[in-house]
Each structure stands twice: as structure tokens, then as C-alpha cells.
Amino acid sequence: MTVFRTLDVDDSEVFYRQAGDPTHQAVLLLHGFPSSSAQYQELIDALADRYRLIAPDLPGFGRSAPLEGTSTFDRLADTIERFTELMDLGRYTLYLFDFGAPVGFRLATRHPARVQGLIIQNGNAYEAGIGPNLTGLAPYWQDRVAHEPAVRQFLTLESTRAQYLEGVPDPEQVRPDLYELDQRYQDLPGRDQVMLDLIYDYTSNLALYPAWQAYLREHQPPALIAWGKNDNYFTADGARAYLTDLPNAQLHLLDTGHFATATHSRQLAALINAHLSAYVTAEPSAGPVAAS
């Protein structure tokens, strides 16, 4: 059974959903733009009998309050890092998707010993994976003020709906309540500024791609790469690029778009269970971790 709670993390409140035995291996699921932990509920339901699943809403997303001041990926990572410590996660597997990937890679590079493995679903770390929908933001990165009106189109229901449906062979597979819920949260007061800040700050992630790749080469975490191959934000070339640094990773290209969880949750759950079963031991996930 999933429980829904809010945790005070320093000066912010982080909403999260959790299921599974707390002594089982932890999986930390980090959502993307413009979503929330709700995107993982089907996966949580499918896997909670074997693992401890924890899915927080990033600050300024879903039911988590925005941070005071400017939102950046560094600040999101600071909050989620502290969240993992307060939750006593110990070692955990990271599920990396979209905006959750740069948050998760910051956690992994700061504390490699805490990360037991990776599940990467349309979470980019290579220039080869940058698709046309993302490169369209380049003018905003060069002149934020002049191009803000155009970027605000990304914050509309039409755009949110398109993120879910683009690249999906049968759009009727996608439940409308998924993107309508995302939009409801996105339309809350002040959320537009959070999203504009983070879209602008995405260039900080591009600068860190080489460091994340170095982390992968050095530490070789067990990795499952399950990728919607029709994604125009992060293309399938980005999925394949991981194999240059993680030659032993499992790669599965799914016939869907950006939000693979909206169409392939059952298949993803089966892949995740097989992946985790191959390396997860009986060690409890909770408790202190070695400094790293």
C-alpha cells in the first residue's frame, strides 16, 4: 500500500509517496518536467512487494512547495540529497527521467557509494541525445528576457499534452488525467517562475555531462536503460551513447515517446524487476552509509 506524506527538509516541504517493506532495497524515483511523483504510481504498485519505492515531488513540482528564490538544479539536488538522508535510505537504486536525471546525477557524483544501481528512462547525459524539442530552447538560453514569451508556450496544457502524446503510436493509450494533473500543479501560483528558472538553468546540466560520463566510466553502476525511442526531447541516440561508458548496461528501446511510464508501465516493471533481481542483495537499505 502506498502512503503519502510531507517531510520538512531544511526550509522546504517535500511531498513523497512510499510503498514497500522499509527493510527492502530502496529505489528512489525522480520525476521529470512538468510532472510529479504521480507518474510512478503504477510502477510503485507493481514493484512494492519486492522493493522499497520512494518517489518525492521535486521542490516546486506536484505537492512540494517551491524553494525560496531562484530554482536551479543544484538547489533541487541539495534538497533531495538531504531528503534521502532524513529518510535513512542508505544505499539505493536511482530511477532517472528527464529533469530527475540531472538531479540524480548530482547525487551520484557527490556520493557514489550511496548509489547501488541506475534505471535510466529518457534521462539524458550525452550531447548525442539532445533532440529538436530541446534545441529549440537555445534562443532562451542566449537571451532569457527576449525569448521568455515563446518559452511560456511550454507551460500550457497544449504543450503538456503534446509531451505525453508525441511519439506514441496509439495516443488513446494515454490517460488524459495524467497530463491534466500535471497542468493543474503547473498552473498554481508561482510555478511558472520555477519552470522558467529551471528551463534556463538546463545549460548547467550540459556543462556537467562530461563529469557524469566520467562517473559512469569509473564506477560502472549496474544500469538498465529503458527508453522511449520516439522521444523528440531526448532521442534514442542518447540512450545508445550510454553504452560507450557502460558497456554492460541493458538497453531496451520502447516504441513510445517521452513519457514511457504513461504507456509501458507494465513492461517497465518487468524490466526493472529483472534488473534489480540480478544485483540487489538481501542487505537492508536503511541505515548509515560510508562517506563518499
Q: Which positions are catalytic? A: 258
Q: Tell me the one-letter amino acid at 269.
A: A
C-alpha pair distances (Å), 114 with each of 23, 33, 73, 215 = 16, 25, 20, 13
212 C-beta neighbours (distance < 10 Å), count: 21
Per-position DSSP letters for 77-92, written without gaps between them: HHHHHHHHHHTT--SE
Quote the cell numbers at residue 136: 529549440
- Looking up cell 516493471 gives 269
Pairing mode of beta strands 52-56, 12-19: antiparallel
User: What are the backbone dihedrals phi and psi of residue 18, each rounded to the nearest 5 degrees, phi first?
Assistant: -145, 145
3-state DSSP percent of the chain in helix, strand and coil, to 5: 50, 15, 35
Cβ(90)–Cβ(26) below 8 Å = yes
- Looking up cell 508501465 gives 265
234 C-beta neighbours (distance < 10 Å), count: 27
* CB burial readout 56-82, b (16+ within 10 A) else e: bbbbbbbbbbbbeeebebebbbbbbbe
Quote the cell numbers at residue 281: 542483495
